[in-house]
């Protein structure tokens, strides 16, 4: 098995080089551009941090579910409803209270959006991946209908809410020259640390990990695994909803159709790459953020950013091959 990992690795590099040769592009320049475009200077680093912030919180959400043995593909939908209803509350109420209420609403709506998947998994044995895919699609369509119809901002031409008033938007926590550290980023770091602590020290976290690692052993250990499943989906959905609301308050200042551009799937990648240690969520979301930011810089060179998606998907598969290979299934 171990011998096959380098083969996968070599294959992925070969694919990139081959793709670039195929389109007759310079090979060195695009790779260099990914680096300079994401980390070249303080302004670009700020851009990378902006890209990684939602992925950090969403990654934590997906990671939590993964620890309970659940693939929360629905992070994208939960993020979307959290952002939509969070933004509506922020705009309606306004000010600091509006942001606080909006975040709360984001958590609640995100959790509610994950609830059907948790219930169907626990009590009907319906696969959470399928239900969350359905819930994602419903979330995208529903929020679109809302901001195209009853909640469309009067000043907007496309389906979107109006902009939040300037004074109630979150400002960066601090800036050093061109380097901006947003508040939502700090919230994300705090969430990761709390999550790590909770999983390691709290008895509920302990039972959640047991349920994910071996549900039978967990049952014999007195754990109500059905309850844990529902609870894990609720928490994961709440975190995703919070990510959406914070994204509105910090960066976007409104909700619009197409708000969640593939974040949900990236979040699964972030969680998978983190492996067994939640602290690695910070590293892996940084990696994804940098690839996204660098990918945008590639467009100027005339190279489509799809190439970074290809690289990310290969990296995910490689890590999955190492970490998630089922041990008990190795028989003749």
Partner 1 sequence: MNSFLLQVVTMSAPLLLLAMAGYASERSGVINIGLEGKMLTACFVCAAFAPQFGAIGGVVMAILAGIVISMLHWTLTQVYRIDHIVSGMAINLLASGGTGFLEASGFAKNTLTEAQRLPLWFYYAVALLAPFLLFWAANHTRFGLQHKSVGSDPSKARLLGINPQRIRLLALTLTGVFSGLAGSLLVSETSTFTKDMTAGRGYIALAALILGGWRPIPAALSCLLFGLATAVQIQLSGKPMFGMQIPSEIWKMLPYIVTLLALAGLLGRNRTPAGLGKH
Partner 2 sequence: MSFAVSMQNISKRFGMVQALDNVSFEVQAGTIHALVGENGAGKTTLIRALYGAMMPDDGSILIGGKTVKFRNSADAIGHRIGMVSQHYGIIGELTNLENLVLGSEGSAILNKVAMQARATELATSMGFEFDWDAESSTLGPAGGQKLEILKLLWRDSQIMILDEPTAMLSPQDSEALFVSLKQLAEKGATVIVVTHRVAEVFQHCKRVTVLRGGIKIADHNVDDVTPNQLAEEIVGGAVMERPQPVSSSKSSVRLKIDQLSVRGEKGDMAVRNLNLEVKMGQLVGIAGVDGNGQRELFHALIGVTRPISGTFSFDGSQWDSESSRTRITEGLRIIPEDRHEEGIIEDWSLLDSAALGLQRLPAFKNLSKGTKKQAPSMAEMFDTKFGRLSDEIASLSGGNQQRFVAGRALSLDAQLILAFQPARGLDLNSTTKVYNEIRRVCQAGACAIVVSFDLDELLDFCDRIVVMAHGELYEPQTEVARDRAAIGRLMVGAG
Instruction: Note the residues at the interface with partner 2 (CB under 8 A).
Output: 200-203, 206-207, 210, 213-214, 216-217, 219-224, 327-328
Q: Does 304 bind partner 1 (CB under 8 A)?
A: yes
Beta-carbon count within 10 A of 59 CB: 35
Out of 14, 92, 145, 194, point to the residue binding partner 1 (CB under 8 A).
Answer: 145
DSSP 254: S
124 is a contact residue toward partner 1 (CB under 8 A) = yes
Long-range CB contacts (< 8 A, 24+ apart) of 166-174?
A: 167/95, 168/90, 168/94, 168/95, 168/96, 168/98, 168/99, 168/249, 169/249, 169/250, 169/253, 170/99, 170/246, 170/249, 170/250
Residue 41 or 304: the one with the smaller Cβ distance to partner 1 is 304
Chain-centre distance for alpha carbon 63: 9
206 binds, among partner 1, partner 2, none (CB under 5 to 8 A by kind): partner 2
**What letter does residue 159 receive in the DSSP assignment?**
S
For partner 1, the binding residues in 181-210 under the rule CB under 8 A are: none
Binding residues for partner 1 restricted to 49-78, rule: CB under 8 A? 71, 73
Quick one: CA dihedral 3, 9, 12, 14, positive or negative?
negative
Q: Which position among 272, 273, 290, 297 is part of the footprint of partner 1 (CB under 8 A)?
A: 272
Asked if 112 is part of the footprint of partner 1 (rule: CB under 8 A), the reply reads no
Answer yes or no whether residue 307 interacts with partner 1 by CB under 8 A: yes
Among 116, 118, 205, 241, which residue sits at the site for partner 1 (rule: CB under 8 A)?
116
* CA gap 320, 188 in Å, rounded: 25
Rounded to whole angstroms, the Cα distance separating 134 from 247 reads 23
Return the CA Rg of the chain. 21
The only residue of 138, 181, 186, 189 in contact with partner 1, by rule CB under 8 A:
138
Q: What is the dihedral of CA 47, 48, 51, 56, to 10 degrees?
A: -140
Examine residue 119 and tell whether it contacts partner 1 (CB under 8 A): yes
CA distance 142 to 140: 6
Residue 4, interface with partner 1 (CB under 8 A)? yes
Of these, 10, 13, 27, 141, which contacts partner 1 (CB under 8 A)?
Answer: 141
Under rule CB under 8 A, residue 317 binds partner 1? yes
Which of 94, 126, 172, 275: binder of partner 1 (CB under 8 A)?
126
Q: Which residues of 14-40 are buried (b: 16+ CB within 10 A; e: fewer)?
A: eebeebbeeeeeeeeebeebbeebbbb
Contact between 301 and partner 1 per CB under 8 A: no
Residue 27 touches which of partner 1, partner 2, none (Cβ within 5-8 Å per kind): none
* Residues of this chain that bind partner 1 (CB under 8 A): 4, 19, 22-23, 25, 71, 73, 116, 119-120, 124-127, 129-131, 133-135, 137-138, 141-142, 144-145, 148-149, 265, 268-269, 272, 302-310, 312-314, 316-317, 320-321, 324-326, 329-330
């Amino acid at each position: 098995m171990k011998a096959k990992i380098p083969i996968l690795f070599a294959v992925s590099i070969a694919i990139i080089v081959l793709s670039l040769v195929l389109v007759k592009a310079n090979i060195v320049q695009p790779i260099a551009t990914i680096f300079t475009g994401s980390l070249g200077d303080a302004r670009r680093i700020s851009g990378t941090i902006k890209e990684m912030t939602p992925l950090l919180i969403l990654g934590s959400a997906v990671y939590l579910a993964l620890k309970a043995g659940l693939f929360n593909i629905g992070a994208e939908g939960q993020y979307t409803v959290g952002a939509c209803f969070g933004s509506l509350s922020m705009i309606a109420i306004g000010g600091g209270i509006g942001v606080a209420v909006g975040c709360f609403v984001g958590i609640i709506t995100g959790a509610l959006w994950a609830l059907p998947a948790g219930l169907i998994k626990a009590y009907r044995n319906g696969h959470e991946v399928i239900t969350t895919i359905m819930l994602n699609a419903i979330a995208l369509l529903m929020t679109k209908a809302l901001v195209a119809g009853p909640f469309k901002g009067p000043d907007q031409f496309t389906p979107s809410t109006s902009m939040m008033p300037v004074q109630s938007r979150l400002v960066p926590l601090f800036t050093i020259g061109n380097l901006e550290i947003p508040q939502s980023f700090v919230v994300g770091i705090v969430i990761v640390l709390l999550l790590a602590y909770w999983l390691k020290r709290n008895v509920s976290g302990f039972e959640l990990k047991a349920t994910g690692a071996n549900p039978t052993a967990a049952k014999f250990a007195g754990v109500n695994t059905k309850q844990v499943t529902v609870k894990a989906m609720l928490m994961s959905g709440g975190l995703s909803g919070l990510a959406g609301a914070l994204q509105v308050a910090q960066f976007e200042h409104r909700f619009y159709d197409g708000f969640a551009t593939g974040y949900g799937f990236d979040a699964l990648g972030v969680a998978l790459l983190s492996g067994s240690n939640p602290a690695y969520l910070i590293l892996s979301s940084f990696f994804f953020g940098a690839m996204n930011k660098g990918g945008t810089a590639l467009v100027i060179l005339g190279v489509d950013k799809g190439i970074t998606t290809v690289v990310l998907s290969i990296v995910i598969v490689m890590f999955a091959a190492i970490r998630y290979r089922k041990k008990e299934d190795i028989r003749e």
